[in-house]
């Protein structure tokens, strides 16, 4: 979050900027160059604009706070609820704390 606005993790790029730029016809490579971040940091299908007859504002974002399957699996009900409640143009972030670190006994 930056001043209350969601941003790409590890970057200061507001998520709204992605949607606004896509609405204006800017492709992901140009967005990445403009904000000086690698294109793969911008989640989504780079061909979305060409393949979809809908504008980017008709997309609902549900962002998971982890890509670690055991963590994601434990949040299945929350994910389903956010997806069911999503509306065009909405953005939801599901906080998922990392799993506890395993301690090894060096005994």
Which contacts of 18-27 are long-range, i.e. CB under 8 A and separated by 24 or more positions?
18/42, 18/44, 18/56, 19/56, 19/57, 19/59, 19/89, 22/48, 22/49, 22/55, 22/56, 23/55, 23/56, 23/57, 25/49
> What was the pLDDT predicted at 45?
44
> What was the pLDDT predicted at 81?
92
pLDDT for residue 37 is more than 70: yes
Residue 104 lies in a domain: no
pLDDT digits 0-9 by tens, 40-77: 776 554 444 443 444 556 678 888 888 888 888 889 89
Average pLDDT over the chain reads 75
pTM: 0.44
Q: Which domain holds residue 20?
A: 1-58
Residue 48 lies in a domain: yes
Counting the structural domains of the chain, the total is 2
């Amino acid at each position: 979050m930056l001043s209350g606005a969601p941003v790409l993790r590890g970057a200061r790029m507001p998520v709204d900027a992605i949607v606004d730029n896509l609405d204006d016809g800017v492709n992901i490579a140009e967005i990445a160059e403009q904000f000086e971040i690698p294109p793969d940091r911008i989640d989504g299908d780079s061909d979305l604009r060409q393949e979809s007859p809908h504008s980017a504002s008709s997309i609902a974002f549900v962002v998971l706070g982890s890509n670690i399957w055991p963590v994601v699996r434990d949040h299945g009900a929350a994910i389903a609820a956010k997806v069911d409640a999503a509306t065009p143009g909405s953005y939801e972030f599901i906080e998922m704390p990392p799993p506890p670190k395993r301690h090894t006994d060096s005994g």
